[in-house]
Amino acid sequence: MNILTIETTCDETAAAVVTEKLDVLGSMVASQEKVHEKFGGVVPEIASRSHLENIVPVIDETLRRAGISPVDLDAVAVANTPGLAGSLLVGLTAAKTLCVALRKPLIAVNHLQAHIYACKVAFKEDIFPCIGLIVSGGHSSLYRCAGPIDFTLLGGTIDDAAGEAFDKVAAMLGLPYPGGPSIQKAALNGNPKKFRFPRPLLDEPDRPAFSFSGLKTAVRYHLVGPGKDVDPAEAAAKLSPQEIADIAASFQEAVVDCLVGKAVQAVKRQAMEQTGMRTLCIGGGVAANSRFRAKMTEMSQDAAKKNGFRLFIAPPALCTDNAVMGAIAVERFRAGLFEPLDLDVFPGLVRN
Ligand code: KG4
Ligand code: ZN
């Protein structure tokens, strides 16, 4: 079985051909990073226009890499939720067009569920049931994943997503977009203990929720002081590279502590409730962060030894947006979950 998966939820145009055994025959990601860099963030209208330019070449190249022709496909899958409306529409329209032309079934992919499924594709292990943690530019959420098509939201961010905080703090520090990799790089030379930024909600262990807005504001106040209408980037421009590195490292450490702490709390809660969930799967762009990966791995080692706890973090290339994780469509194919051709996009509403 060959499924073409299409991903255009935000600013990457991606496609992949995956098999029933989750082998990746071919894949491609066309990043729009350079297009959005000068704006310091994704401009939705420009993103959808870039998808329009990229979608056909990306699908063509993916099929070429896979060494198959369109008639060899058994289904076409596309991420239709959540994401930017204009971006989602380009992928969905391409998928529908292929389905009509090839007379193949259409499969809907939930982008967040796919981020978790990246662990399954990468490690080919039986990851379900598991707790899923998605940390991306738009989401920071914990899920109870009973099976590949049975996800229940436990809780998410009450304000900004972790990646959004990375991007906004990077802009304040005058570091380039996307902020996550820039902060990670700057932090390498910094002291993570130099400044003590807040770790919101960690003192509420029973609450599966995140908050990064206050942390972001704490960095702003650190740069310009409270209540001052000054551009933090102007203030940051007067700092030495070492000072910037120390702020980046201290901020990164605070985000990492929140993510690791909340993941650990969620796992402990499952243990207390005896749900039998001993696996934690993590995906999303922020999960590519090397400090996060190291601390999460370190934290899990004790639990792994004591009670067979398993941790899977998607490999960095499958953390940031890609179409390989759309292999979750294989599960929907098996379950006979196909979509009508009037399928719509659901930018905010997570439907399936
Ligand atoms: O999953 P993703 O590619 O797109 C969304 O679904 O949002 O995540 C993008 C986010 C951006 O905010 C980016 O700054 C962040 O992931 N990111 C990182 C790293 N690489 C990407 N954040 C921290 N450290 C990284 N190495
Ligand atoms: Zn994503």
pLDDT in tens, 238-289: 999 999 999 999 999 999 999 999 999 999 888 778 777 889 999 999 999 9
CB atoms within 10 A of CB 28: 23
Q: Is 320 in the pocket of ligand 1 (CB under 6 A)?
A: yes
CA angle 78, 146, 163 (to 5 degrees): 55
**Which residues, listed in sequence order, are joined to residue 2 by a DSSP beta bridge?**
19
pLDDT of residue 352: 45
Q: Is 321 in the pocket of ligand 1 (CB under 6 A)?
A: yes
75-81/2-7 β-pairing: parallel
Task: Give the CB-side neighbour count of residue 104, counting CA atoms within 13 A.
Answer: 23
CB atoms within 10 A of CB 159: 16
E strands, 148-212, are 150-156
Separation between Cα atoms, residue 249 and residue 169, nearest integer Å: 12
DSSP-assigned letter for residue 74 = S
From 320, 321, 324, give the residue whose CB has the most ligand 1 atoms within 8 Å, as the site to mutate: 320
Closest-approaching ligand to the CA atom of 251: 1
Could you tell me the CA-to-CA distances from 173 to 3, 19, 52, 235 in Å, in that order? Answer: 43, 44, 33, 8
The rounded mean pLDDT for the chain is 95
Q: Is 163 in the pocket of ligand 1 (CB under 6 A)?
A: yes
- Short-list 31, 88, 9, 98, CA closest to 60: 98
Separation between Cα atoms, residue 21 and residue 287, nearest integer Å: 25
Mean pLDDT of the 333-342 span: 98
pLDDT of residue 130: 95
Which of 111-125, 170-184, 234-248, 338-352 has the lowest average pLDDT?
338-352
Q: Is 289 in the pocket of ligand 1 (CB under 6 A)?
A: yes
Q: pTM for the full model?
A: 0.95
Q: Whose CA is nearest to atom 26 of ligand 1?
A: 289
CB 291 within 8 A of CB 166: no
350 burial via Cβ count (<10 Å: 0-12, 13-18, 19+): middle
Q: Which residue has the higher pLDDT, 291 or 42?
A: 291
Q: Is 91 in the pocket of ligand 1 (CB under 6 A)?
A: no
Separation between Cα atoms, residue 331 and residue 326, nearest integer Å: 10
